[in-house]
Amino acid sequence: MKNILKGMAALLFGAAVLTACGDDSTEPQGHIPAIDVTTRTLVPDATGANGESGSTRAFVGTVVTAQGFNLDRVSRVTMNDTEAEIVGQSISELKFKVPALGFAQRDDSYLTDLLVYGEGGEVVFRYEYYVTVPVTDAVVTGYAPASGTVGTVVRIEGRNLEQLAEVRFGDKAVLSDAFVEVVEGSESSSVSFAVPAGEWAAGESEVTIAAVWGGSNVVDVTGETPFMMQTPRVAPVVQPEGENAAIGDELVIEGEFLDLVSEIRWGAYELIVLEQTAASVTVKFPSSIETADPVVAAADIAGVYGTPAQAVVLAAAYRVDTTPQGPAKPIFKSFAAEDGGADNRLYLGKTVTVTGENMASVEGFLVDGVAAALVGEPNDVQASFAVPDGVTFTSATEVEVEALYGGGTKAEMFTAKVYPFYCYKGIRLGLGSNSKNTYTEYAAENAFFYPDLGRTVSTQEWVDGRFDRYVVETGTNPAVKEASTLTKSALTSEEYYAVKPYVFFITNSSSKLSIAGCANSASQIKTHCTGTLGAWTSLPSTFGTPIVMYRVMNESWGEAVKSGTLESMAAYDGSLATAGAPAFGAAETTSVWVEGSVLMMNYITYAKGGKPVTGDDASIVAKIGFIHVTGITCADKATGLANADRAGYIEFDMYWSKQLNE
């Protein structure tokens, strides 16, 4: 409002001059310029620091337009006493550019004194006009963290930091192509970099950080808060002359920032870390140290810290008597079970990693007295084994795990609950289709899942490897003449069980998606064997050999499958699976599954040799499985139909039993 009043005052001033010359007209006349304030005074009427005027910002170089009378008589325009270039002028309109005013870059606008002069040099218009000088330079507002070591990722925050060419960390340069991350934004941006390796002082030292943009412009990053560089520092380790450490001895090393050390070695041998804090670390000389010549050997004790790994000598030329002491008894600390969850469940076939001391002495493990094969080579701090399938119990049972060393000597390790079945997480399969030109490469590579093998198999591998040889070698399976019915005259029991059961998904020309039983229908196997990815896929319509049936499980016990707390493969109501290809749908029923459903899979015995019927019991099931469908990307969950391009996958977790019946 005060700007408008000033404009009106200027207009009245011009009118008064004209009246004094004898013209009693109500409009200014003669040669006195005046700005019209009956509409917007200036365009743009720039936004002020507190929104005093207008809604459009004006910058250096912005053309400002004024309407009025006798504006061809304006001689000059100034802003804060700086001459503004007049770029357009007529009787009714004046245009001029906002000049460079020497203001620093900032978000808020600057208030300027705008003056318009007449032909005689007199001021005919005065106005409070706001000009913005935008932030275009790289500006730093802060950084974090303010301490760390080699490899610590430091994030610099500010404005226009995508312009940074390098960051100077002390006397070392981190070029832009080595930045960990650059985040651009109109109001804020950031650059992240890793503290570089180099010769840093032991302990804690101050380091300045600067950023370079535009070739040579340097921005201070740290200011009054320098980065505190931290590296391990140790107190001298005194080993009296004539005294030597022995294998199995412990050594305490004291200092600062020792918690940064990730690995400690004596020469080529990794030491066992028993306890570690910032102020001290306790290590043990392992039994894996071999006899040296001479028997007493000297080597530096060195630690590794940072990323990339930096070496620091913790004790120089430390002497150890390497005389063999015989196999050292392994000492247990902890264990971790693959796919075991927070409860560390032990599933058949899964790898269990045991940590402790003297683990290099371990020759094997016993799980409830059953030998468990080692996985990999043990070292001083850990050894791994696979949970054996020879356990005899049928429900999850707490058992003892022992280590064998020194030619069969037993050492107690821990007790754990063993689940006597297999567990597979995050399996993904594509779907076969008997529609033309819709067989994707993903589906070909992830066609079948074999629970006995614990892995997926591609269509190419399935054909070349004769996984179901009766289908591949003959084209028409002599072992299965009709749906889910064995021709026992064509194969023996041993031959039947030699063809492992497998899981796969199909879709037909009407886009119905189903999980498929191998021997259920003559049209199912061919969906994965008559695609368009190569001539090798061509097979006639045929049956698969294993007789597999499914059932959608709606009972409340299925929650144990979903939650991962299933303890027995017999934990169902005794009903058998009888569906050859239950379909995916929009809503779960007794015969339709959805994302989140649990399906029971029955692999039928050779003795039964066909689909279960009323009166059959669990004795006809060779193996049982439970499938929890966790994700579907190849179908519309609302309609239950597969994608038109058949792209995507079905993801599931699965539990699978050992052989139950022959």
pLDDT of 530: 60
CA distance 389 to 10: 99
Region 184-189: what's the mean pLDDT?
86
pLDDT in tens, 373-389: 999 999 888 999 999 99
State how far the alpha carbon of 595 is from the alpha carbons of 251, 449, 578, 630, 635, in Å. Answer: 56, 18, 21, 6, 10
> Do the Cβ atoms of 427 and 449 come closer than 8 Å?
yes
pTM assigned to the model: 0.61
Q: Tell me the average pLDDT across 362-371.
A: 96
High-pLDDT (> 70) share of the chain, %? 89
Kindly tell me the burial class for residue 376, based on how many C-beta atoms sit within 10 Å of its own C-beta (0-12, 13-18, 19 or more).
Answer: exposed
3-state SS string over 543-594? CCCCCEEEEEECCCCHHHHHHCCCCECCCCCCCCCCECCCEECCCCCCCEEC
- Domain extents for the chain? 2-131, 139-231, 233-321, 331-419, 424-656
CATH superfamily label, 331-419: Immunoglobulins (2.60.40.10)
Q: Is the omega angle on the peptide bond into residue 308 within 30 degrees of 0, that is, cis?
A: yes
Burial 443-464 (b: 16+ CB within 10 A, else e): bbebbbbbbeeeebbbbeebbe
pLDDT at 630: 96
Domain covering 139-231 in this structure, CATH number: 2.60.40.10
Task: Give strand pairing partners of 512.
Answer: 641
Tokens of 191: 């650059």
Exposed e or buried b for every residue in 517-552, given b needs 16+ CB within 10 A? bbbbbbebbbbbbbbeeeeebebeebbbbbbbbbbb
Between 241 and 454, the more confident residue is 454
Spell out the residues 6+ positions from residue 9 whose beta carbon is closer than 8 angstroms to its own: none
- The 3-state DSSP class for residue 302 equals strand
- CA distance readout (Å), 654 to 241, 450, 543, 571: 63, 11, 24, 15
Using CA atoms, how far apart are residues 278 and 208, in angstroms rounded to an integer?
A: 24
Mean pLDDT of 7-28: 36
In the DSSP assignment, the letter for residue 364 is: E
CA-CA distance, 538 to 525, in Å (whole number)?
A: 11
Residue 634 vs residue 524, higher pLDDT: 634
| Residue in the block written with tokens 């402790």 | 356
- pLDDT tens by residue, 379-422: 888 999 999 999 999 999 999 999 999 888 899 999 999 999 99
Residue 28 CB-density burial (10 A; 0-12 exposed, 13-18 middle, 19+ buried): buried
Average pLDDT of the residues in 14-41: 53
pLDDT digits (tens, 9 = 90+) for 257-274: 999 999 999 999 989 888
201: Cα within 13 Å, side-chain hemisphere? 8
Tell me the mean pLDDT in the region 17-37: 54
- For 233-321, give the CATH class: mainly beta
What radius of gyration, in Å, describes the C-alpha atoms of the chain?
A: 41
Q: Are 284 and 250 in contact (CB under 8 A)?
A: yes
| Residue 2 to residues 15, 81, 138, 234, 443, Cα–Cα distance (Å) | 20, 21, 37, 71, 74
Per-residue pLDDT at 553: 86
Q: pLDDT: is 533 or 553 the higher one?
A: 553
- Dihedral angle computed from the Cα positions of residues 270, 274, 277 and 282, in that order, rounded to the nearest 10 degrees: -70
Average pLDDT over residues 628-638: 95
CATH 2.60.40.10 describes domain 2-131: yes
Averaged pLDDT score across all residues of the chain: 87
Structure tokens at 539: 């097979």
